[in-house]
């Protein structure tokens, strides 16, 4: 039985309507959906299968991150590390080693040339520019030059961080006095930045960065312009913030403070990570005698047998040239004679007067009978 589409009238109706007849049933061609439009990215995205699995407890993850400024100038090269939740980490290294580049990559001021960066499990390479402000709301940043508003008071500088993120007046009235008490600025509410010392201005910058209680706090040289006593107070404040559960990453040159706190230390040199210690010092500890002996044995083991044989021959020749040892002379020690008791001239002799020092007469002279 012929279908209606096979009849001439059906074909004529299709022609009259201006549409061509399409095959029906299993011979019909499937229609593909249009490909989604993708915004061009500055860095080609790697296949998802090559990415390592995301850690559930890591706040910051760097996987083979490289930042190149020119053909041969590397700000960061093949950096791979992770920072767990609640850690306090020092980032040390000489000037130009890549500390500031690493900080700017975390807040997405710079884009990496290669590698992947995750913050709280999210790949920053997939984050659009429109979502960057929402990322920075969850990252508190403390700058070396404070970056305070000069025409606003201490209270208004801290409250400004809540106002620009949509905080209500009730939230501002509750959070700002609390964070100022934590930072020791409860008596400086109505002071302008020009009326504060350098340490107090740094405390205001820390209070502004921590007022939203972010899970990650970045501090770039927080004690670079401060005296040692004020630096201790700033580090104690950062430590109290870390005790509340916030992960703290501090880039610093303060060797005394790093050696005193003994926290995790990541050292950069020429853009590469050269050291990562759980409880490290600013500079690595000198080699001990045991470590030197172990290194010397490994060096000798790696040398060929010819070198060891020549070393044995040289040692044998050096022992033959030495003169035989002469026996030590026997020294007899004579017992010392006891010294005679010395006469104490300060005391008068026995039987003498204590006033004149002369001896008293033993037999008094006979009395004259005529004197009677």
Least confident of 79-83, 121-125, 337-341: 337-341
Return d(Cα 107, Cα 288) in angstroms, integer. 41
Taking alpha carbons only, the member of 129, 116, 60, 125 closest to residue 91 is: 60
Residue 42's CB is within 10 A of a number of other CB atoms, namely 8
Q: pTM, whole model, 2 decimals?
A: 0.64
pLDDT digits (tens, 9 = 90+) for 84-138: 999 999 999 999 999 999 999 999 999 999 999 999 989 999 999 999 999 999 9
- Residue 73 half-sphere exposure, CB side, CA atoms within 13 Å? 4
Is the pLDDT assigned to residue 38 strictly greater than 60? no
Average pLDDT for 360-370 = 59
pLDDT of residue 297: 72
Return d(Cα 48, Cα 119) in angstroms, integer. 17
Decide: 267 and 93 in contact? Cβ < 8 Å: yes
DSSP helix/strand/coil, 321: helix
Is the pLDDT assigned to residue 327 strictly greater than 80? no
Reading the block at residue 126, the tokens are 């997939």
pLDDT digits (tens, 9 = 90+) for 177-217: 999 999 999 999 999 999 999 999 999 999 999 999 999 99
Residue percentage of the chain with pLDDT more than 70: 63
Residue with tokens 């997405």: 108
pLDDT of residue 298: 72
Strand partners, 219: 142, 250
pLDDT of residue 267: 95
Torsions phi, psi for 62 (to 5 deg):
-115, 130
Average pLDDT for 129-154 = 92
> What one-character DSSP code corresponds to residue 343?
P
pLDDT digits (tens, 9 = 90+) for 49-72: 455 566 778 999 999 999 999 888
pLDDT of residue 41: 42
Banded model confidence at residue 283, pLDDT cuts 50, 70, 90: confident
Reading the block at residue 181, the tokens are 């008490």
pLDDT of residue 358: 58
Strand partners, 251: 91, 220
Decide: 351 and 363 in contact? Cβ < 8 Å: no
Residue with tokens 């201490």: 154
pLDDT of residue 312: 61
Q: Where are the beta strands (DSSP E) in the chain?
A: 58-68, 74-84, 88-93, 114-119, 122-123, 139-142, 216-220, 247-251, 264-269, 272-277
Cβ-based burial of 168 (10 A; exposed 0-12, middle 13-18, buried ≥19): exposed
Task: Give the distance between the most distant pair of CA atoms in the chain.
Answer: 199
Banded model confidence at residue 14, pLDDT cuts 50, 70, 90: very low
For the chain, domain boundaries: 53-138+215-286, 147-213
Reading the block at residue 72, the tokens are 């041969």
CATH architecture of 53-138+215-286: 3-Layer(aba) Sandwich (3.40)
Decide: 264 and 231 in contact? Cβ < 8 Å: no
Is the pLDDT assigned to residue 303 strictly greater than 80? no
Q: Decide the pairing of beta strands 88-93 and 247-251.
A: parallel
| Mean pLDDT for all residues in the chain | 78
Q: How many residues belong to the chain? A: 372
Average pLDDT for 262-279 = 94
Return d(Cα 275, Cα 32) in angstroms, integer. 53
Q: Where are the beta strands (DSSP E) in 10-73?
A: 58-68
pLDDT of residue 226: 87
pLDDT of residue 351: 59
pLDDT of residue 138: 92
DSSP characters over 98-144 = SHHHHHHHHTTSS--SEEEEEETTEEGGG--GGGHHHHHHTEEEE-T
> What one-character DSSP code corresponds to residue 286?
P
């Amino acid at each position: 039985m012929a279908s209606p589409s096979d009849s001439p009238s059906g074909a004529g109706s299709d022609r009259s309507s201006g549409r061509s007849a399409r095959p029906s049933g299993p011979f019909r061609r499937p229609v593909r959906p249009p490909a989604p439009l993708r915004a061009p990215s500055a860095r080609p995205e790697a296949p998802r299968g090559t990415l390592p699995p995301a850690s559930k407890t890591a706040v910051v993850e760097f996987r083979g991150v490289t930042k190149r400024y020119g053909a041969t100038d590397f700000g960061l090269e093949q950096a791979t590390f992770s920072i767990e939740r609640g850690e306090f980490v020092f980032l040390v290294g000489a000037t130009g080693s890549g500390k500031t580049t690493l900080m700017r990559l975390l807040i997405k001021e710079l884009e990496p040339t290669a590698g992947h960066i995750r913050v709280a499990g999210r790949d920053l390479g997939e984050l659009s520019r429109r979502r960057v402000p929402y990322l920075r709301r969850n990252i508190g940043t403390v700058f070396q030059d404070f970056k305070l508003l000069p025409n606003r008071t201490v209270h208004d500088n801290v409250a400004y961080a809540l106002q620009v993120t949509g905080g209500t007046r009730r939230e501002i009235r509750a959070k700002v006095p609390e964070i100022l008490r934590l930072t020791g600025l409860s008596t400086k509410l109505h002071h302008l930045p020009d009326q504060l010392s350098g340490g107090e201005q740094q405390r205001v910058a820390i209070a502004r960065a921590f007022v939203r209680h972010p899970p990650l706090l970045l501090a770039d040289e927080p004690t670079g312009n401060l005296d040692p006593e004020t630096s201790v107070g700033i580090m104690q404040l950062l430590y109290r913030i870390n005790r509340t559960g916030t992960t703290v990453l501090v880039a610093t040159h303060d060797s005394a403070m790093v050696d005193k706190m003994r926290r995790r230390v990541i050292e950069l040199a020429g853009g590469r990570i050269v050291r990562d210690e759980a409880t490290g010092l600013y500079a690595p500890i000198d080699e001990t005698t045991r470590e030197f002996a172990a290194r010397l044995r490994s060096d000798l083991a790696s040398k060929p047998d010819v070198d060891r044989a020549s070393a044995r021959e040289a040692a044998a020749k050096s022992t033959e040239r030495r003169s035989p040892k002469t026996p030590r002379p026997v020294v007899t020690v004579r017992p010392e004679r006891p010294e005679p008791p010395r006469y104490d001239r300060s005391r008068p002799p026995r039987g003498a007067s204590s006033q004149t020092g002369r001896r008293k007469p033993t037999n008094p002279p006979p009395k004259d009978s005529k004197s009677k």
